[in-house]
Amino acid sequence: MRYDVSWDFGATSNDAARAEFMKLADAKELCRKIVAQALYRTGLLRAVDRLFRSRELSPMEGSRLPRLRRSSRSKFGILCYHRVGTDGVPLFSRLQPKLFRAQMEHIKKRYRVVSLGQLCRELQDGTSAEPTLAITFDDGYRDLYTHAFSVLQEYQLPATIYLIGQCMESGEVPWYDRIFLALKGVTGTSFEVEMDGFRQFALSSPKARIEAAWEIVSYLRTKPDSWRQKWCASFEKEVLIRPEDTEGRMLKWDQVRTMFRAGVSFGAHTMSHPSVSRLDWQGLETELGESKRLLEQGLGSPIEDFAYPFGKPEDRSLAAEEFLASYGYRSAVTTTEGFNIPGVSRFQLRRLSISDDWSLVDFAFNVSRMFLETPSEMRSIPIRSAEPVLSRMEQRELQG
Ligand SMILES: [Zn+2]
């Protein structure tokens, strides 16, 4: 099974449907890899790169094949990374620093790369530009300082790191990492846990352990966050999580400040990494407001950008967008795949999640492909639209 950074299978609880979905996803991924290799080896990937600058692929009514149509829209892509390095907790810990460096070299050569702030301004202004990229990292793992920072400096690439408030305060890894670590450390070959009835997991291999942890985290994302917190507290009484696995994994304030002084920007990623759609009003106030205040105090600078934990449509809400607007956030990024154009909501920015499993060829191909495929909800947006979509709160304010 392929573990990518998309958390795509979160709400799928039916085992057979999930297995079928995974089979299809794996087959699709294999096809992509074959096409990517063929394009790269024949030198055609450069031609694809040139093509996406003036064309888009859109579905054609009555046909399974997409239509290639001319487009003059400005396209803005945002890359979503988590860790860089291979010494982290089980999830997202397989991106070799050498490969990350090659990826940065590739985008530096082929794309216009700007800071997230500049990307937001250009999206707002409707600035016409060549395909443009911004680089983001979620969660604030320490290897961003030890492995990624020097590469970003070497290629003079701007980047934004989204920090989790409680992790900055406690230095501990977030709750979902603790579940992966717990399942990694459980002794024996099976494990039973309460998930709306008892669920038994076979833990016969490291892969089975990661699958079990994945299913538990996915299940918890569907629950109200206060319930999820109680569940985690009770779960941790039953399992052993070694302190040496949880400490020293996240960025420290002095590292954050050093990177900030060198031009890296920072955004908020809540206080405790909940699925934001599962928060009540009090929770929204704490997770969205408190995290902003904490980071602003720590950095001595405004925090304007936000990343939704997990980032899928089921992890977001209109109430959260209203809170983000009222707290003065400028943007919010998701993990829904695709490029952005002037006219998209600034609180629903799409990103391309970079998988640990991608080779450099896969990476180059997938970044190209992102700019070529029109995301579904953008198909109806007029090509030259320059006005940003206002949030409901802003609309109400304008109406008095
Ligand atoms: Zn996250």
Helices (H) then strands (E): counts for the chain: 17, 12
Of 243, 261, 289, the residue that ends a domain is 243
- 227's CB contacts (< 8 A; 6+ apart) are none
346 C-alpha to ligand 1 centroid (Å): 19
Residues with CB under 5 A from ligand 1 (ion): 138-139, 309
How many separate domains does the chain show? 2
User: Which among 205, 227, 243 is the end of a domain?
Assistant: 243
* Token pair listed for 257: 């400040």
| Distance between Cα 369 and ligand 1 center (Å) | 24
Q: Is 28 helix (H, G, I), strand (E, B) or coil?
A: helix
Q: Residue 128 C-alpha to ligand 1 middle, in angstroms?
A: 31
The reply to whether 224 and 139 lie within a common domain is no
Q: Domain check: are 46 and 94 in the same one?
A: yes
Alpha-carbon distance 78 to 352, whole Å? 6
Per the CB < 8 A criterion, the answer to whether 230 and 236 are in contact is no
Same domain, 306 and 362: yes
- The proportion of the chain whose per-residue pLDDT surpasses 70, expressed as a percent, equals 83
**HSE-CB for 273 with a 13 A CA cutoff:** 20
| 145 and 274 fall within a common domain | yes
Question: Higher confidence at residue 42 or residue 306?
Answer: 306
Q: Which residue has the higher pLDDT, 220 or 187?
A: 220
- Same-domain check for residues 305 and 160: yes
Biggest alpha carbon–alpha carbon distance for the chain: 63
Q: Residue 10: its pLDDT value, please?
A: 39
CA–CA distances in Å: residue 133 to residues 31, 152, 192, 207? 25, 14, 44, 34
Spatial distance between the Cα atoms of 179 and 386, rounded to a whole number of angstroms = 44
Q: What is the pLDDT of residue 395?
A: 41
User: If you measure from the C-alpha of residue 307 to the centroid of ligand 1, how many angstroms do you get, rounded to a whole number?
Assistant: 8
CB 306 within 8 A of CB 289: no
Span from the CA of 350 to the centroid of ligand 1 (angstroms): 15
Average pLDDT, the chain: 84
Q: How far does residue 7's CA lie from ligand 1's centre (Å)?
A: 10
Torsion of CA 337, 360, 214, 369, to 10 degrees: 20
Q: Are residues 196 and 165 in the same domain?
A: no
How far CA 122 is from CA of 74, 127, 311, 347, 388, in Å, comes to 9, 5, 23, 15, 11
User: What does the pLDDT average to over 12-41?
Assistant: 67
- Judge if 295 and 183 occupy the same domain: no
The tens digit of pLDDT for each residue in 320-373 reads: 999 999 999 999 999 999 999 988 899 999 999 999 889 999 999 999 889 887
Higher per-residue pLDDT: 69 or 94: 94
pLDDT of residue 316: 94
What pLDDT, on the 0 to 100 scale, is given for residue 38? 77
Same domain, 124 and 253: yes
| Residues contacting 161, CB < 8 A, separation 6+ | 136, 137, 140, 144, 251, 256, 259, 264, 265, 266, 267
Domain extent for 126: 5-171+248-398
Residue 201: strand pairing partners: 191
Whether residues 218 and 273 fall in one domain: no
Residue indicated by tokens 């700007």: 114
pLDDT over threshold 70, residue 15: no
β-pair partners for 163: 139, 268
Main-chain dihedrals φ then ψ at residue 133, nearest 5 degrees:
-120, 150
> Could you tell me the distance, in angstroms and rounded to a whole number, from the CA of residue 164 to the centre of ligand 1?
8
With a cut of 50, say whether residue 35 has pLDDT above it.
Answer: yes
Instruction: Report helix angle 360-372 to 97-110, nearest 10.
Output: 40
The dihedral through the CA atoms of 272, 273, 274, 276 has a sign that is: positive
Strands 190-194 and 198-202: antiparallel
Under the banding of pLDDT at 50, 70 and 90, the label for residue 3 is very low
Q: Sorting pLDDT into bands at 50, 70 and 90, what band is 377?
A: low
Mean pLDDT across 192-202: 91
Q: pLDDT category, 6, cuts 50, 70, 90?
A: very low
Most confident of 8-22, 237-251, 282-296: 282-296
Whole-structure pTM value: 0.84
Per-residue pLDDT at 391 exceeds 50? no
10 lies in the same domain as 82: yes
Residue-wise pLDDT tens digits, 112-167: 999 999 999 999 988 767 889 999 999 999 999 999 999 999 999 999 999 999 99
- Higher-confidence position of 285 and 393: 285
One domain, residues 239 and 353 = no
Output the CA 386–ligand 1 centroid distance in Å.
30
- Tokens for 179? 């579940």
Question: Ligand 1 centre and the CA of 36: distance in Å?
Answer: 28
The pLDDT confidence band at residue 78, using thresholds 50, 70 and 90, is very high
User: Sorting pLDDT into bands at 50, 70 and 90, what band is 92?
Assistant: low
CATH code at 38?
3.20.20.370
For residue 351, the Cα-to-chain-centroid distance in whole angstroms is 7
Q: What's the 309 CA to ligand 1 centre distance in angstroms?
A: 4
C-alpha distances (whole Å) from 306 to each of 91, 161, 321, 371, 394 are 22, 10, 11, 23, 18
Does one domain contain both 73 and 157? yes
Considering 218, 243, 268, which residue would you say is the last residue of a domain?
A: 243
How would residue 206 be classed by pLDDT, with cut points 50, 70 and 90?
A: confident
CB atoms within 10 A of CB 400: 4
